[in-house]
Each structure stands twice: as C-alpha cells, then as structure tokens.
Structure 1
Amino acid sequence: MAELDSTYFSKVGLTKLKSELESLKTKKRKEIANRLEYAKSLGDLSENSEYQEAKESQILNEAKIAELEDMLRRAVVVEHSASLGQVDIGSQVTVEDALGKRLNFTIVGANEASPAENKISNESPLGKALLNHKKFDAVSVHTPKGVLEYKIIDII
C-alpha cells in the first residue's frame, strides 16, 4: 500500500513531471547562469538590479527543482483499469446532476488536476465522492453551497 504522503500520477503526468524537472535543471539553470554572468559584468553588485533579479530567479528555480524532486520521490504511478468497473484515478467518468445535465471528468492525482481540461483531483470533493463507486451509483458531494447529488452514467 502507498504511503499517506504519496503523490499519484498517470504515466503521462509522471513523464511531464520528469520533463519539467529536466528543463529546470538544464535550460533554466543555464539561462540564469548567463544572466548572472552578464549582471556581474556590469560592476557593483550591491546596487545591481539585474544581478538581484537573476539571484531571485535562481532561488525560485532551485526551490521548484527541490519541490519536483520531492514529488518524484513520492510518486506512485496509477494504472487505470476500466475492467474493474469502478471509479479510480485515471477513470473517465460521466455523471448526471439532479437537473439532468451531464458532465465528463477524468479523475487524476492532485498535481495533474486541470479544471479547464475537465481533469479533477482525486482529493477534490467530487473526486473523493466518485472514487470506488460503480456505474449507476448515486453519490453526494458536500460543497460550501450545500450537498450536490450525481448519478454515475459511464466509466471508461
């Protein structure tokens, strides 16, 4: 069983994470090093805004690298199996609300969530409510605006 602090990813999400990390370690570091070198060539570093901005970029980049490396250490790749017939990470789910409106979502790990792409986190209220349910199950989602009811129409 995965640890509580695990970070869940699809194969695609993990590949994107590794790619972003590699880009920060190579391209971004080199770009910042070049900016620092240029800023140093301007002279007095104590009042050199270019140098200060480049140092700030370096600090932020290294913090992001550390964050992504930590996520990678805790990464658990989730293999979706539609044959199980229940909602899990990686499932594409169609639900119907109380008014008959149908919504389509893909359940993903928190780090892959993107509402604009209809990717919702397994940790979101709706994601939590849908997990482990089967086709035609009714689920209740507790939100700040009250309880919303959904019926699972399809799971892919």
Structure 2
Amino acid sequence: MSKVNYYTAEGLARLKEELKDMESVQRPKISQQIADARDKGDLSENAEYDAAKEAQGLLEAKIAKLKEAISNARVVDESQLDDSKALILSYVTIKNTANGKKMKYQLVAPKEADLKSGKISVDSPIGKGLLGKEVGDIAEVEVPTGKVKFEVVEIARG
C-alpha cells in the first residue's frame, strides 16, 4: 500500500512541473542519444549506446517514482488545521533547553524540505518530535549526538 504524502499547492505544482520536464524534454533527449549511438554501428562495443540506455533506465525509474508520489499526493487545506498544535505547514519556534538557542522552522512534506530556507520535513527527527506538540511542550528528539530537548515557544500559520 502506498503512503499518502501531504504537500502545499506550490509543492505539488513543482512536482508536476518536474514530471512534465522529464517526460517532454529529458526523455526525447535520451531517445535521440540512443538513436545517434545506434547509428554508429556495432552495439556490442558501443559505450555511448550503453551509457544512453542506462540513463534512459534511470530517467524512467525517476518518472515512475514521481508519478507515484503525485498520485499519492494530497494538498493540505490549512483552514482545517488546528492552530494550537504543531502540524504540517506550521511555523514552529523552538528553544534548545540546553543552550537557550531559538530556531524557527516550517514543517513540510519530505520533498519540500529545505533547511536553508527553514523548512524541515515532518519525517525528520526534529519534525517527528514536534508533530502534535503545543506551546510550552517539551519535544525530546533523538539526534546523532544523543537526545536533545526543545521547548515549543510559538506555533503560527503562514
């Protein structure tokens, strides 16, 4: 059974655009590379042909995976979310209880995660630890260096 993935409307649009590019731009390019390599003669010792066929296989696997992700995608309706809890699309300000450092993250779907822009996956250790928490709750998160405790300081919506 496939796992349902939740996305923002923009995130789902990006996935669809990526799929369109793969199918309408990259696939024809690889097909042309295969045809060009085939025209060069003996396929048994043709490295260009082998490389193009391998690239085609990888691209087709990516396309299949992306199609599955899109078919299992659900757009999150922010108006239906509980504002008092840290859920997907929440902006959560947390404080490390050990050093007092504050951080602000938006909880997003795994394919939309981008730490540089403050977006962390709900499947990441911190994301999992924050899901369902309310302001004032302590989230214990298992990280490679051990357990870290974060206090939920603020929860907001976009």
TM-score (norm 2): 0.88
Give the equivalent residue in structure 1 for 2:133. 133
Structure 1 residues 1-156: aligned runs within 5 Å? 5-81=3-79, 84-98=83-97, 99-156=99-156
Which 10-residue stretch deviates more, 125-134 or 142-151? 142-151
**AA in 1 matched with 2:88:** I
> What are the ranges of 5 or more consecutive residues in structure 2 without an aligned counterpart?
none
> What are the ranges of 5 or more consecutive residues in structure 1 without an aligned counterpart?
none
The alpha carbon displacement at 1:121 in A equals 1.3
Matched residue SS, 1:134: coil
The alpha carbon displacement at 1:111 in A equals 2.2
**AA in 2 matched with 1:126:** I
Which 10-residue stretch deviates more, 36-45 or 55-64? 36-45
Aligned residues: 154
Which 10-residue stretch deviates more, 35-44 or 60-69? 35-44
TM-score (norm 1): 0.89
Cα distance in 2 for partners of 1:80, 1:97 equals 27
Identity of aligned residues (%): 36
8 Å CA contact 1:129–1:140 kept in 2: the answer is: yes
**C-alpha RMSD of the superposition:** 1.8
Cα distance in 2 for partners of 1:58, 1:113 equals 27
Distance 1:56 1:4, change over 3 A: closer
